[in-house]
Amino acid sequence: MANSRHLRVVCIALALWLLLVPGLHAQDSPRTYTVVAGDTLFVIAQRFGVSLDELVAANGITNPDRLEIGQVLIIPTPGAGPAGVPTTGDVRALPGDTIASIAQRTGQSPEELAASNGLSVYARLFPGQPLQVPRAAIPEPPLRYGAITQVRVPERLVQGRTGVVIVEARRNVTLSATWNDLPLTFLPLDAEGRRQFAYLPVPALIAPASYWLTVSYLTGDGLSVSRSWMIPVAAGGYDSQVINLPPDRGALLDPALVQAEAAKVNAVWSERTPVTYWTGPFSLPIGAEYPTTSPFGTRRSYNAGPFSDYHAGQDFGAPTGVPVFVPGDGVVLLVEMLTVRGGAVIIDHGGGVLTGYWHLSEITVQVGQAVAQGDVLGLVGNTGLSTGAHLHWELRIYGIAVDPMQFLQEPLVPLPAG
């Protein structure tokens, strides 16, 4: 009897100890919070010391602006995602973890994981130790986004280059999006409209940082549902160049002339034809024997002034009279002899993608003309703001100048996955 009474006392004491010692039962069930009047996701995230993105992901929230009083939210452990994988792209070691167990969980070899962190395969890990894991190896959480089944977003972008976002849905949905506050235009990838894509052009002078991409669609009830992603932008590594203009050309830098011409050209660049005339890679607009004399993105100083500008196109050195070719099918939008750009042609390739050709000595196409890859559009010249005969080739998407050479290897329309 005494032993039985002693055992009961020990059990009760042990139970009280388990209840009173913090953390021992914390992982049995996740923390929850019930929304009250005046709450916002931002306030709740700050209150519990988690990031807004973690709170949204843990609860599958598609519209952060729509909270309801009485709604129960799961409060995630700060920095942790599914299976102990943080949403930041790192993992943190769990109690008892080894390099081998984390490698198995993230889908890579122990040797690769160890090498990427400067560790031995047999290194001892302490609980909570951060390890860098390639993003592609981290399991993605299920996408809770209504009719949208998949959103493919670039892991990173680079100054002056172009990426794409691809959206797949169970039905044809009306999509809209902004990339760093720039409205995007979605184009279909199949006849049913269940797969759509939009370009993500990156300005050449944008600061290296992370920027928001927000994708929205209308539900069957007419409600707008949105989700956002942060995409990092890396530096482009562009060179610099000092340009000395001859005396007879310096007057062309008159701000009044430059601004008036830019306004005219920018009105054309803003065209967004809702179809694509050309899908495959472009071809060079000039013979391959003519070298690049000034690449896209070069930071420029005129007559020893500040490096406050950049080269918005790709220059090819060639004698006057060399033919210039259409790089991909399209429709001619502008043909004009301009003050700064000289003999100028702009071609619309559809979907917000346009190309421009400056300093031409002769133009052989007309506005409204449909042109095909390989057609001659004009001849190289030395007209406008130019220090010698050359072709300036420019490509803009939604009016943003990007590197045209990227599309000599990559198709304008993304190919099917797999």
Residue 120: CB atoms within 10 A of its CB come to: 10
Query: Which one has a higher pLDDT value, 61 or 179?
Result: 179
Which tens digits make up the pLDDT trace of 224-242?
A: 888 888 898 888 888 887 8
Angle at 296 between CA 291 and CA 300, to 5 degrees: 105
- How many residues does this entry show for the chain? 418
DSSP per-residue string spanning 79-116: T--GGG--TTSEEEPPTT--HHHHHHHHTS-HHHHHHH
Query: Which one has a higher pLDDT value, 50 or 335?
Result: 335
β-strand pairing of 299-302 with 240-243:
parallel
What is the pLDDT confidence band of residue 216, given thresholds at 50, 70 and 90? very high
Q: Domain locations in the chain?
A: 30-137, 148-234, 240-408
d(CA 396, CA 386): 21
d(CA 327, CA 282): 5
β-pair partners for 316: 292, 391
Query: Which one has a higher pLDDT value, 396 or 117?
Result: 396
pLDDT tops 90 at residue 386: no
CA quadruple 58, 61, 64, 69: dihedral positive or negative?
negative
Position 78 scores a pLDDT of 62
d(CA 235, CA 333): 33
d(CA 321, CA 83): 65
Class for domain 30-137, per CATH?
alpha beta
Which tens digits make up the pLDDT trace of 150-162?
A: 999 998 899 999 9
**For the residues 22-42, what does the mean pLDDT come to?**
58
Which two structure tokens, joined as six digits, stand for 141?
Answer: 């959480």
Which two structure tokens, joined as six digits, stand for 368?
Answer: 């409204």
pLDDT tops 50 at residue 24: no
For residue 223, which amino acid is it? Answer: L
β-strand pairing of 162-169 with 148-152:
antiparallel
HSE-CB at 266 with a 13 A cutoff on CA atoms is 7
What is the pLDDT confidence band of residue 19, given thresholds at 50, 70 and 90? very low
Quote the mean pLDDT of the chain: 80
β-strand pairing of 376-379 with 342-350:
unpaired
β-strand pairing of 370-371 with 362-363:
unpaired
Backbone angles phi, psi at 189, to 5 degrees: -110, -5
Lowest mean pLDDT among 58-62, 91-95, 220-224: 58-62
The answer to whether 165 touches 189, Cβ cutoff 8 Å, is: no
HSE-CB at 35 with a 13 A cutoff on CA atoms is 18
**Which residues, 6 or more positions from 100, have their beta carbon under 8 angstroms from its beta carbon?**
110, 121
pLDDT tops 60 at residue 141: no
Which tens digits make up the pLDDT trace of 311-320?
A: 889 999 999 9
What is the pLDDT confidence band of residue 308, given thresholds at 50, 70 and 90? low
For residue 118, which amino acid is it? Answer: G
Element (H, E) at 215: strand 210-218
pLDDT tops 50 at residue 88: no
Which two structure tokens, joined as six digits, stand for 267?
Answer: 């009105």
Topology (CATH level 3) of domain 148-234: Immunoglobulin-like (2.60.40)
Position 175 scores a pLDDT of 94
The answer as to CATH 2.40.160.10 being correct for domain 240-408 is no
pLDDT tops 80 at residue 59: no
